[in-house]
Amino acid sequence: MMTTVKEPKQKKFRSVKAQKLTSTIFSYIALVILSVIWLYPILWIILSAFRVEYRDGNLVSTVVGHYFPKSFGLENFRILFANADGNNPFIQWFINTLIVSFFTFILSTLLTLSVAYVMSKIRFKARKKFLGIAIILGLFPGFMSMIAIYYILKSINLTGTLYALILVYSAGAGLGFYVAKGFFDIIPNSLMESARLDGATNSQIFTKIILPISKPIIIYTALLSFTGPWMDFIFAKVILGTNRNMYTVAVGLYEMMYGEQVSSSRFTIFAAGSVIVAIPIVTLFLSMQRYYVEGVTAGAVKG
């Protein structure tokens, strides 16, 4: 009797274990395939940046048939920084992008966290209406307002300036408060009530109590605020106009490849610029990855 009872249970256990093993194997295979698809173009750009090939004594800087270069070197980076043709000041583009991203991340982070705190911890009559309006506005992509923004900036003579980009990127930052609001929602209200009993104002509660215990969401918001302007192309292309010295890196590299002086011989130089642009972003995300994940997961607990 004992043997007949145990055999079906053992078979069922083995069947469940085999299903889990099969599911795990297929999951890993799918992840490997997706990783290869995702990494293939990135690796191609990196290899192209270090590709150094000569033909008839001249450096070849075009897209060639083979994936892996025959030889590696830093010649493309040297040409990029030396600005050999005098029309592509990459260093100036990099500095412009750094300036815009730095000031945008400061203003955007302050605006986003302030709005999130107000929406999470302060009750007022129009609160629910504002939350609804923010959700509706968030459904529309930002570039839909591009033409209107351009003419507004043109009317006050701000087009073609870095100030305009900083203003555009920072002005709408407050509408992206929902993740930060979710983080603030899980902070106990008893902390605020105790502070109010001690005579603290809302600004003091925000700066001296809420912000010191909100490091993950601050870093998450700051990273998004910095990387947005760093990688943006659409608004920068429309607002900055034709002055090449005012370009950001995204616009400058695009014009180098597809502008009036388009030339496929610049591809490896373009790839070198792309690698340099990626270095600050990759460094930030790798160094702040733990806080970034904590900010996302904590902000998604409660809306």
Assign 79 a pLDDT band (cuts: 50, 70, 90). Answer: confident
Q: What is the number of structural domains in the chain? A: 2
Looking at the structure, tell me whether residues 37 and 95 fall in a common domain.
no
Looking at the structure, tell me whether residues 105 and 58 fall in a common domain.
no
Looking at the structure, tell me whether residues 77 and 199 fall in a common domain.
no
| Token digits of residue 114 | 């302030």
Given 52, 82, 112, the domain boundary residue is 82
Residue the block writes with tokens 């790839």: 271
Identify the pLDDT of residue 99. 93
Given 57, 82, 107, the domain boundary residue is 82
Looking at the structure, tell me whether residues 148 and 215 fall in a common domain.
yes
**DSSP bridge partners of 59:** 54
| pLDDT digit string, tens, across residues 180-202 | 888 888 888 888 888 888 888 88
74's CB contacts (< 8 A; 6+ apart) are 50, 52
Q: Is the pLDDT of residue 240 over 60?
A: yes
| pLDDT digit string, tens, across residues 38-61 | 888 888 888 888 887 766 555 655
CA distance 263 to 269: 11
Looking at the structure, tell me whether residues 279 and 141 fall in a common domain.
yes
Given 60, 82, 104, the domain boundary residue is 82
Percentage of the chain exceeding pLDDT 70 = 82
Q: Is the pLDDT of residue 97 over 90?
A: yes
Q: Which domain holds residue 253?
A: 90-299
- DSSP state, 72? B
Burial of residue 187, with CB atoms counted within 10 A of its CB: 0-12 exposed, 13-18 middle, 19 or more buried? middle
| pLDDT digit string, tens, across residues 250-303 | 888 888 877 655 555 578 888 888 899 988 888 888 877 776 666 555 544 444
120's CB contacts (< 8 A; 6+ apart) are 181, 184, 185
Identify the pLDDT of residue 2. 47
Mean pLDDT of 159-174: 87
CA distance 160 to 247: 9
Q: How many CB atoms lie within 10 A of CB 118?
A: 19
Identify the pLDDT of residue 302. 46
**pTM of structure:** 0.79
CB 174 within 8 A of CB 115: yes
Q: Is the pLDDT of residue 229 over 50?
A: yes
Q: Is the pLDDT of residue 29 over 90?
A: yes
Q: Is the pLDDT of residue 32 over 90?
A: yes
Residue type, 251: V
Assign 123 a pLDDT band (cuts: 50, 70, 90). Answer: confident
Least confident residue range of 22-26, 123-127, 289-293, 296-300? 296-300
**268 compared with 239, residue with greater pLDDT:** 239
Looking at the structure, tell me whether residues 53 and 126 fall in a common domain.
no
Looking at the structure, tell me whether residues 71 and 121 fall in a common domain.
no
Of 206, 123, 111, the residue nearest 166 (C-alpha): 111
Residue type, 259: G
Question: Any idea what the CATH number is for the domain that residue 126 is in?
Answer: 1.10.3720.10
CA distances to 108, 169, 173, 292 from 113, rounded to whole Å, are: 8, 15, 10, 15
Looking at the structure, tell me whether residues 98 and 65 fall in a common domain.
no
**What element of type H or E holds 266?**
none
Of 95, 50, 41, the residue nearest 71 (C-alpha): 50
Looking at the structure, tell me whether residues 70 and 125 fall in a common domain.
no
Looking at the structure, tell me whether residues 120 and 6 fall in a common domain.
no
| Token digits of residue 300 | 């998604």
Most confident stretch, 21-25, 163-167, 240-244: 163-167
Looking at the structure, tell me whether residues 267 and 246 fall in a common domain.
yes
Looking at the structure, tell me whether residues 188 and 274 fall in a common domain.
yes
